[in-house]
Amino acid sequence: MLHPSLGKILLSCLERDLERIQFLDGFRGAAVPVLWNFMYQSDDHLPYSLPSISVQSAIPLYISPSVPLPFPLGHGTTTLGFVFQGGVIAAADSRSSCAGLVACPESQKIIPVHSHLVSTTSGTSADCALWKRILARELRLYQLRNRRRLSTGGAAKLLSHMLHPFKGTELSMDAGTQSKGTDGKKTGSVSETGPRLYYVCSDGLRLQGELFSVGSGSPYAYSILDGNIHWGLSVDEAVSVAREAVYRATHRDAYSGNNVDLYHVTAKGWRRRKREDLKEEYYREKERERKRVEERRREIENKKQTK
Amino acid sequence: MEYLIGIQGPDFVLVAADNVAAHSIIQIKHDYDKMFKLSEKILLLCVGEAGDTVQFAEYIQKNVQLYKMRNGYELSPAAAANFTRKNLADYLRSRTPYHVNLLLAGYDATDGPGLYYMDYLSALAQAPFAAHGYGAFLTLSILDRYYRPDLTRDEAVELLKKCVEELNKRFILNLRSFTVRLIDKEGIHDLEKLPLV
């Protein structure tokens, strides 16, 4: 997840973003370097916040301006979601980075919106958290007014329409919303049953699909998922593929890491798997490799002896 | 990156669009439909900036449908094209211009088939054939060479296949599949996706 870098903030204070700071936060004529705003969402720590102004930067890394980026690098995170016969799996890492600094190693990137809707986030943590709350509020209001829950597609559409006016203001947010629809509810001409997954981003793009991965670690995750996901997976298989995809992405991507969060959404609602430290997974894998090599060596030895 | 093409015949319009939704270097969706049905005989093909395309196209789509509800009859393709152009032009010099390139294809009972090319600066031109995207650089000359105003439906599909072959051969990106639709006096027909396996 992205937190604006201090260096970038200092630079951008001197540029056009100054108007934006004033616009966003009402600090007129603020020429002081601004402090970054970050969300500390772990249960074990006291919330730590400075009086701050948040300034979004368009590029997630601080790159010296003379070296251009090869292609637009995604937000510093790995999140993924996919649909299968047992519902929807959402998985994400938990590292919040701020240029080269790990601002928070234990952030929550998957935010439940309501009992049957879960949303992964990528981009600026403040934006994501705010817009999720706004979405949750709007969905609850809809539910109270219309006595039925808004479908996932409707929720995704609502989110994309709410974000569209902010296009070009460097609001940065990608979300995958997903839910397993409640059984057999037919309202008017829309019957929403079954698991659904949508990709929404702050450009205003909204796509329905069966597999999405968002963030700087997404290419690594896609390559693991593409070969192994199909509709008929069992829950355990799906969970292990999701875990592995996040693990591989965090291994290669510098801006993803620490822990993996996994949510499984079914018709009964979402269930959260215990957060796992990927460092342990790395050592476990090394151990497994070592054992495998040992066994191979022993087999070859035995073969030689029996010959 | 995205590709749209339209070919007008004497009594039909053939349109095709690629199916890729991409985000930086990743294809996030392989079966994305870029055509929006404005009415029974009008299709709007829309590419451009992420988000802008769907927002603008759906806005036009709903307004065209509203016109039908209010007045009892549908907008003609020419009227819909000019309406779209006006909206695009109005937003052009606002704080939030829509960066979209469009093809509007339709069949009118009185005027016959019509293909309208519109770009993000809201330039509108009716043309016998048109294409958008980098792929247009490769395929417009094929259309120039082989297009005739009296193409039959099959010939038009063959011409389209020639264009797709050229893209598969020379275009740097892998545009795996194209949705193809045909509009004539009976309405909008879905044809087989290209390239045929």
For A219-251, how does the pLDDT look when each residue is reduced to its tens digit (9 = 90+)? 899 988 988 899 999 999 999 999 999 999 999
Pick from A48-62, A144-158, A183-197, B136-150: least confident: A48-62
Q: What is the pLDDT along chain B (197 residues), one digit of tens a residue?
A: 899 999 999 999 999 999 999 888 888 899 999 999 999 999 999 999 988 999 999 999 999 999 999 999 999 999 999 999 999 999 999 988 999 999 999 999 999 999 999 999 999 999 999 999 999 999 999 999 999 999 999 999 999 999 999 999 999 988 899 999 999 999 999 998 888 75
Question: Rounded mean pLDDT of A30-35?
Answer: 33
Task: Encode pLDDT of A278-306 as tens digits.
Answer: 888 888 888 999 999 999 999 999 999 88
Pair of tokens at residue B139: 């395929």
Predicted pLDDT of residue A73: 57
Q: Which of B166, B181, B162, B105 is nearest to B134 (CA)?
A: B166
Q: Give yes or no for A87 touching B (CB within 8 A).
A: no
How would residue A177 be classed by pLDDT, with cut points 50, 70 and 90? low
Measured CA to CA, the distance from residue A250 to residue A217 in angstroms comes to 7
Predicted pLDDT of residue A170: 52
Q: Which residue has the higher pLDDT, A185 or A239?
A: A239
Q: Which of B89, B75, B161 is nearest to B121 (CA)?
A: B89
Q: Which fold has domain B4-195?
A: Glutamine Phosphoribosylpyrophosphate, subunit 1, domain 1 (3.60.20)
Predicted pLDDT of residue A28: 35
Between CA B144 and CA B151, with CA B147 as vertex, the angle to 5 degrees is 170
Measured between CA atoms, the residue of chain A closest to residue B49 is A203
Which residues of chain B does A206 touch, with a Cβ-Cβ cutoff of 8 Å? Answer: 51, 54
Q: Judging by DSSP bridges, how do beta strands A117-123 and A110-114 pair with one another? A: antiparallel
Between CA A157 and CA A262, with CA A170 as vertex, the angle to 5 degrees is 55
CA distance B26 to chain A (A): 7
* pLDDT at A187 > cutoff 70: no
Predicted pLDDT of residue B195: 81
Of B21, B29, B96, Cβ closest to residue A167: B96
Predicted pLDDT of residue A22: 38
Q: Give yes or no for B50 touching A (CB within 8 A).
A: yes
Place of tokens 């796509």: A207
Q: Judging by DSSP bridges, how do beta strands B100-108 and A101-104 pair with one another? A: unpaired
* pLDDT at A183 > cutoff 50: no
Based on the number of CB atoms within 10 Å of its own CB, is A183 exposed (0-12), middle (13-18) or buried (19 or more)?
A: exposed
**Percent residues over pLDDT 90 in chain A:** 20
Predicted pLDDT of residue A100: 78
Pair of tokens at residue A44: 């074990």
| pTM > 0.80 | no
Spot the catalytic one: A77, A79, A120, A121: A77
Based on the number of CB atoms within 10 Å of its own CB, is A28 exposed (0-12), middle (13-18) or buried (19 or more)?
A: exposed
Q: Give yes or no for A168 touching B (CB within 8 A).
A: yes
* pLDDT at A184 > cutoff 70: no
Q: Give yes or no for B82 touching A (CB within 8 A).
A: no
Name the residue type at position A11. L
Predicted pLDDT of residue A182: 41
Predicted pLDDT of residue A33: 33
**A53 and A38 in contact (C-beta within 8 Å)?**
no
Measured CA to CA, the distance from residue A189 to residue B138 in angstroms comes to 44
Q: Give yes or no for B177 touching A (CB within 8 A).
A: no
Cross-chain residue pair B55–A204, CB shorter than 8 Å: yes
Instruction: Mark which residues 193-222 of A lie under 8 Å from B by CB.
Output: 199, 201, 203-207, 209, 212, 218-219, 222
Predicted pLDDT of residue A202: 79
Instruction: Mark which residues 108-167 of A lie under 8 Å from B by CB.
Output: 160-161, 164-165, 167
User: How many other CB atoms are there within 10 angstroms of residue A14's CB atom?
Assistant: 10
Task: Encode pLDDT of A122-168 as tens digits.
Answer: 887 888 888 889 999 999 999 999 998 888 888 888 988 888 887 76
* pLDDT at A70 > cutoff 80: no
Q: Is A77 a catalytic residue?
A: yes
Helix (H, G, I), strand (E, B) or coil at A294: helix
The dotted CATH code for A79-290 is 3.60.20.10
Question: Rounded mean pLDDT of A11-19?
Answer: 43
Predicted pLDDT of residue A48: 43
Task: Encode pLDDT of B65-80 as tens digits.
Answer: 999 999 999 999 999 9
Predicted pLDDT of residue A30: 34
Q: Where are the domains of chain A?
A: 79-290
